[in-house]
Amino acid sequence: MAHNDAGGAGYTLAELAAKSGATLDGDGALRVTRVATLERAGPGTIAFLANPKYASQLATTRASAVIVAPGDAGHTPLPKLVTPTPYLAYARVATLLHPPALPVSGVHPTAVVDPGAVIATGVSVGPHATVAAGAVIGEGASIGAGASIGRDVRIGARSRIDARVVVYDGCAIGTDVIVYAGAVIGADGFGLAEDQGRWLRVPQVGRVVVGDRVEIGANTTIDRGAIDDTVIADDVKLDNQIQIGHNCVIGEGTAIAGCTGIAGSTRIGKRCRIGGAANISGHLSIADGTTLGGMATVMNSIDTPGVYSGAYPLQPYQAWRRTSVRLRQLDALAARVVALERALRARDEDGER
């Protein structure tokens, strides 16, 4: 019924209310075809207000309908969807109005599929993609242009492997997974043993096992396990350019923002939220439900869930120079404090005598 272009049939507001779980307020027969921001909306669009920063735009928007929280419903006469979670409702509405284009099933003439691979019905294999012997591609999955699927890889039904993704031998990807362009799954982890001043590479014999409904961002890399598997559990969402080391376990429902680095053998719990450019040392664990702020540096395990942050806030350059000078003086200052405390204790002890 719906189309992903502005000229499509769209949905009525009543249909969107029913499908998004919001309450209808206004003309349910109004039809909308696409989403838009409050500032740039026009006829036939639906916009949303989730951030109070943009509340003033509610009075001037040219959208045909809006999605708002109950407290904002009285601030506009427009037809609306009312919900305590307007951003979630927007996500559902946007998914309905802008569904992804489905690839055409079949194997492109330039693709190379080994006769020993198993390709289910409805699979799309794009130009110059390769699928090695023993690979099993589930029903309705798609393999993008130039992607490389290694030996004995398992890819579940309806999963989408975008252009130039590399999935190394033996790795397993669940159902309804999205792997964006350039991601590398299952390359060798950084395993080295020192041998008289030189490095000996340690064979990495584990796999990467990815659960269902996972999203893996563009150019993200997930190393295979050294012995046991690296595991990405169901419903994990990974942003672009994340590095996950060998033998890591990322718990169900965790979301990790871009440029985060996670060293090997780290266990991250369920439903964690990790901000961009965080750095997490290896061989530690992070409790379920933990939130890490952007650029946080984690050197020890976190046993108690909470919100943790570890980066200095931005300062004007001259202020930062003064701060950095004081930081360099901390050792000397600490030594002076210790000396003063000793002197005070000695004086007090003399006084008591």
- pLDDT of 90 reads 98
Q: Which fold has domain 11-97?
A: 3.40.1390
State residue 9's pLDDT score: 84
What's residue 206's pLDDT?
98
Architecture of domain 106-308: 3 Solenoid (2.160)
Average confidence score pLDDT of the chain: 95
What tens digit of pLDDT does each residue of 264-322 get? 999 999 999 999 999 999 999 999 999 999 999 999 999 999 999 987 778 899 999 99
User: H helices of 213-269, where?
Assistant: none
Closest among 209, 217, 211, 248 to 233, alpha carbons compared: 211
pLDDT of residue 169: 98
244 by Cβ neighbours in 10 Å (0-12 / 13-18 / 19+) ranks as: buried
CA distance 224 to 244: 9
**11-12 vs 31-32, strand pairing mode:** antiparallel
Complete edge-to-edge strand list for the sheet that includes strand 291-292 = 106-107, 124-125, 142-143, 160-161, 178-179, 215-216, 237-238, 255-256, 273-274, 291-292, 307-308
- Residues 119-134 have a mean pLDDT of 98
Question: In this predicted structure, what is the pLDDT of residue 4?
Answer: 39
- The tens digit of pLDDT for each residue in 89-112 reads 999 999 999 998 888 999 999 999
Return the amino acid letter for 141.
A
Tokens of 122: 């409805």
For residue 8, what pLDDT is reported? Answer: 58
Check residues 54 and 312 and name the one with the higher pLDDT: 54
Mean pLDDT of 126-130: 98
CB of 260 closer than 8 Å to CB of 279 = yes
Catalytic residue among 108, 128, 246, 283: 246
- How many whole angstroms separate alpha carbon 271 and alpha carbon 281? 19
Task: Round to whole Å and give the CA distance between 348 and 146.
Answer: 78
Does residue 3 register a pLDDT over 70?
A: no
Whether 243 shows a pLDDT value over 60: the answer reads yes
CB 274 within 8 A of CB 268: yes
d(CA 17, CA 2): 15
> 223-232 burial string, b = 16+ CB within 10 Å, else e?
bbbbeebbbb
Helix 317-328 to helix 330-352 angle (10° resolution) is 50
Q: How far apart are CA 42 and CA 44, in angstroms?
A: 6
pLDDT value of position 311: 75
Residue pLDDT, tens place only, 166-223:
999 999 999 999 999 999 999 999 999 999 999 999 999 999 999 999 999 999 999 9
- Concerning whether 246 is annotated as a catalytic residue, the answer is yes
DSSP 140-158: T-EE-TT-EE-TT-EE-TT
The pLDDT, as a whole number, for residue 353 is: 65
Question: Over the stretch 323-350, which tens digit does the pLDDT of each residue have?
Answer: 999 999 999 999 999 999 999 998 887 7
- Say what the pLDDT of residue 5 is: 40
pLDDT in tens, 7-43: 458 999 999 999 999 999 999 999 999 999 999 999 9
The secondary structure element, H or E, covering residue 308 is strand 307-308
In this predicted model, which residue has the larger pLDDT, 264 or 1? 264
